[in-house]
Amino acid sequence: MTRAHEHGAAAQPEGTAPDAATTVARAAAHSRRAFLFKLSLALNGAVGAVLAVPILGYVLGPALKKNASYNAWVSLGPIADFPEGETRLVDYRNPVTMASDGATGNAACWVRHIEGRKFQVFAINCAHLGCPVRWFPQSKLFLCPCHGGAYYEDGARASGPPERGLFEYQYTVAGNHLLIEAGSLPTLATEACAKKKPLIQIAPQDAAADDANPARSS
Amino acid sequence: MDNPNQRKRPALKVFEWFDSRLGLARPLTEAAQHPTPERSASWWYVFGSAATVLLVLQVMTGILLALVYTPSAGEAWSSLQFLNHDVTLGWFLRAMHGWGSDFMIAIVLIHLVQVFLFGAYKFPRELTWIIGVFLLLLTLGMAFTGQVLRFDQDAYWGLGIGASIVSRFPLIGGPLVGLMLGGPIIGGPTLARFFALHVFVIPGILLVLVGLHVWMVLRLGINEWPMPGRIVSKASYAHEYHEETAKNGIPFVPDAAWKDAVFAAAILLSVMACALLLGPIGPTGQPDPTIIQTAPKPDFAFLWIYAVLAYLPPSLETPFIFIAPIVVIGGMLLLPLVAGEGEKHWSRRPVAVLMVAVIAVTLGTFTRLGTYTPWSPIMEAWSADTIPTKYLQDRSPLEREGALVLQNKQCRNCHALGGAGGMRGPALDNIAARMTEDQMIRQVLQGGGNMPAYGNALNPAETRALVSFLMTLRGKNLQPAVDSSRQLTTGSPEPLPAEQGDAATR
Ligand code: FES
């Protein structure tokens, strides 16, 4: 109340001239208040900085997490499902999903069974801008519907805007099952398999060793 | 004052009760009646207010849609189906919101062009223009995020394209993809992010900036009608404008505002007409990445970007994607700062007019191309489009076999015959008039240009059949292509294809 009253008085210069003592007192009080105001700003700045930590951590969380950390080995089914010399579309459920993902938690990949235990597993996402490529066994080509990128049966770039071949997943054959390491959307930054993780729990050591993907290691 | 006060009607009393507390009546009346240069009360000056009216329409229809829409990746698509088919007039609200957004982009663009051509961005309205540029970007941001909320196949793969573009960012591409998607894949958190952007973040900024934009229009006055030879200078403009409005200014309401109101009504009616006649936009197929039979396409406003991305040479793509927007947006923002004075009239600014014309034609052409995507293979053409019978009549068995090879090997996906098929490669109707047999064999087996090599996909018999069929395709009585180098060395034209061609045309 008093402060408001003082302000009101200060705003009316036509009132009676205040005597010297009050002016000095008011000026002293003013500089004290101005200092307190600056201090309160600094205090809020500090609180804001502290507050920014959890907010930024929350917002940037998905950006800071390593993509490879989402990856896990997913079974695509028994190898008997993949006739030798053929390339087939296989659906699987992404290893990391949430209840709200719905159908978007599904994923698909192209499995090419070369021979024996040799496979190639390609992402359906075009290496250009990510549209779903389709396999045409007659012309042995993957064609992209978006800008006409084309890839040969081994995933190598054939023509069109893509600058590289199809993304490939790491795979392994464990028992009679074909497994791939999947988990994040394949893009130029993530690729299909970010880093090769040794298969400890799932596959026996020797399987992991001789199934090292030939195309990747070349 | 006191006597009539006692006889006041109750409505007026209520009004005064509020206004004595709000104190808004006077400033609002003053704002509404601010003097407008007489000639500026023109049909050319109605686009800004129409854009604002459309924004209000979008906010209203958006809130109504949010009553039913479920921003969850698993349910969004079916909630749109529910809106379209089961909610009374849900389809109409969706249609209004969708067409309203198209209209809003169009009106905002027209407004921008008008302001540019009338020199209205010059001193002292530079900041009004700069904020306007942000309003355009936010409007496009609303359109893009809105297209994502229509969580269908196009939205899903559109997000994939967005993620692929972002992933090309040097060094931080990966984290940026994570930030955009909210997780490792396009899914629940992705849609939630775009929902928050579309419903809270962008509209919030948009409304604040529209407020500032309108405030500045009121504060600085509506741009006077440009006259050739009347130069804007920072020293004298304020004085001149004041003089002009004092001399022949008219109150904005009602003398000028009636045109804005009529135009806004016409626009609202047009949105309603489009909604009624053309219906809601989408959703297309379900957002299930295992359904790969799709050729995703962005909404109308972004078709030109889609076309540019298709035509850029691969090596230029990444630099272009990241540098071009900075140049374009930076140029627009700097425009009033570098050209804040001088002529306003378009007849004295040929470069400006030329720029508008070139940009409009370019955007129009790319958008047009984006509507029929000649660069995309038509994935079903090989099994859906038949070979015109005239190309099969009087052909040898080998040539007909070749026609079968042409269909079976998906050549039609990229090459048209008789006007049907892909347009990615050249039409084949008169291929034999352009290429010799040798050239065809080499092109088919080794590829080149934009064509993959078919060496591994064709056996020698198939190649022979295919080429012999292609050799019959010479259009209307065109001469077969001849290898002139062979003519020089042997002294006679290549005999075989010429004879075959004759046999075929007989
Ligand atoms: S996304 Fe496949 S060619 Fe562009």
CA B194 to chain centre: 19
**Distance, in angstroms, between B246 CA and closest chain A CA?**
35
Query: Looking at beta carbons, which residues of chain A come within 8 Å of B289?
Result: 103-104, 106-108, 124, 132
Selecting from 3.40.50.150, 1.10.760.10, 1.25.60.10, 3.50.50.60, what CATH number does the domain B389-503 have?
Answer: 1.10.760.10
Region of residue A139 (left: phi > 0; alpha: psi -120 to 50; beta: else): alpha
Ranges for all domains in chain B classified under CATH 1.10.760.10: 389-503
Region of residue A15 (left: phi > 0; alpha: psi -120 to 50; beta: else): beta
**Residue A119 belongs to domain with CATH number:** 2.102.10.10
Q: What is the pLDDT of residue B47?
A: 97
A166 and A95 inside one domain: yes
Is A4's Cβ below 8 Å from some Cβ in B? no
Laid out side by side, the sheet with A171-174 consists of A72-78, A177-182, A171-174
Q: What is the pLDDT of residue B502?
A: 43
Q: What is the pLDDT of residue A43?
A: 98
A164 and A124 inside one domain: yes
Model confidence over B256-281: pLDDT tens digits? 999 999 999 999 999 999 999 999 99
Is B298's Cβ below 8 Å from some Cβ in A? no
Of A62, A101, A108, the CB nearest to B290: A108
How far, in Å, CA of B353 to CA of B116, rounded?
9
Please give the average per-residue pLDDT across B412-439, as a whole number. 92
Please give the average per-residue pLDDT across B359-380, as a whole number. 93
Residue A125 is given by DSSP the state B
* ipTM for the predicted complex: 0.86
Q: For residue A95, how many other CB atoms are within 10 A of its CB? A: 18
Q: What is the pLDDT of residue B4?
A: 55
Ranges for all domains in chain B classified under CATH 1.20.810.10: 34-372
By three-state DSSP, how is residue A133 classified?
Answer: coil
Residue A72 lies in a domain: yes
Residue that the structure tokens 């049966």 belong to: A153
Q: What is the pLDDT of residue A1?
A: 40
Of A67, A124, A143, the CB nearest to B379: A143
Residue A217 lies in a domain: no
How far, in Å, CA of B325 to CA of B305, rounded?
11
Q: For residue B59, how many other CB atoms are within 10 A of its CB? A: 14
Q: What is the pLDDT of residue B261?
A: 96
- Enumerate residues 6+ apart whose C-beta is below 8 A from B75: A100, A102
- Enumerate residues 6+ apart whose C-beta is below 8 A from B73: A100, A101, A102, A103, A104, A105, B151, B186, B187, B188, B190, B191, B287
A91 and A187 inside one domain: yes
Is B201's Cβ below 8 Å from some Cβ in A? no
Cα B133 to middle of ligand 1, angstroms: 31
CA distances for B91 relative to A96, B2, B82, B239, B276, angstroms:
35, 56, 9, 53, 9
pLDDT at B500 over 80: no
A84 and A163 inside one domain: yes
Q: What is the pLDDT of residue B338?
A: 95
Q: What is the pLDDT of residue B450?
A: 86
pLDDT at B394 over 60: yes
CA distances for A92 relative to A105, B136, B469, angstroms:
9, 41, 43
Closest Cα to residue B52, out of B256, B300, B268? B268
Residue that the structure tokens 């994607």 belong to: B321
Model confidence over B448-497: pLDDT tens digits? 888 999 998 999 999 999 999 999 998 776 777 777 776 666 655 444 44
A91 and A171 inside one domain: yes
Q: Spell out the alpha helix ranges (H) of B343-494.
A: 350-372, 381-384, 397-408, 437-446, 460-470, 484-490
Residue finishing a domain among A44, A64, A84: A64
A19 and A100 inside one domain: no
Region of residue A57 (left: phi > 0; alpha: psi -120 to 50; beta: else): alpha
A52 and A85 inside one domain: no
**Which numbered atom of ligand 1 lies nearest the CA of B310?**
4
Selecting from 1.20.120.450, 2.60.40.10, 3.60.21.10, 1.20.810.10, what CATH number does the domain B34-372 have?
Answer: 1.20.810.10
Cα A149 to middle of ligand 1, angstroms: 5
A17 and A124 inside one domain: no
Cβ within 8 Å, pair A132-B289? yes
Q: What is the pLDDT of residue B488?
A: 66
Give the mean pLDDT of chain B. 91
Q: Which of 76-115 (A) contact B at CB < 8 A?
A: 89, 91, 94, 96-108
Of A62, A98, A128, the CB nearest to B178: A62
Task: State which residues of chain A have pLDDT below 50.
Answer: 1-13, 15, 194-218
Residue finishing a domain among A40, A64, A88: A64
Is B124's Cβ below 8 Å from some Cβ in A? no
Domain that holds residue A89: 68-212
How far, in Å, CA of B298 to CA of B376, rounded?
14
Instruction: Tell the residue nearest (CA) to atom 1 of ligand 1.
Output: A129
The model carries a pTM of 0.87
**Which numbered atom of ligand 1 lies nearest the CA of B309?**
4
Whether the CB-CB separation of B185 and B317 falls below 8 Å is answered with: no
A89 and A180 inside one domain: yes
Of B181, B288, B410, the CB nearest to A106: B288
Backbone angles phi, psi at B297, to 5 degrees: -145, 140
How far, in Å, CA of B68 to CA of B77, rounded?
12
Whether the CB-CB separation of A158 and B455 falls below 8 Å is answered with: no
Is B184's Cβ below 8 Å from some Cβ in A? yes
Whether the CB-CB separation of A96 and B185 falls below 8 Å is answered with: yes
Which residue of chain A comes nearest to B175, CA vs CA? A63
A104 and A194 inside one domain: yes
Residue finishing a domain among A64, A99, A115: A64
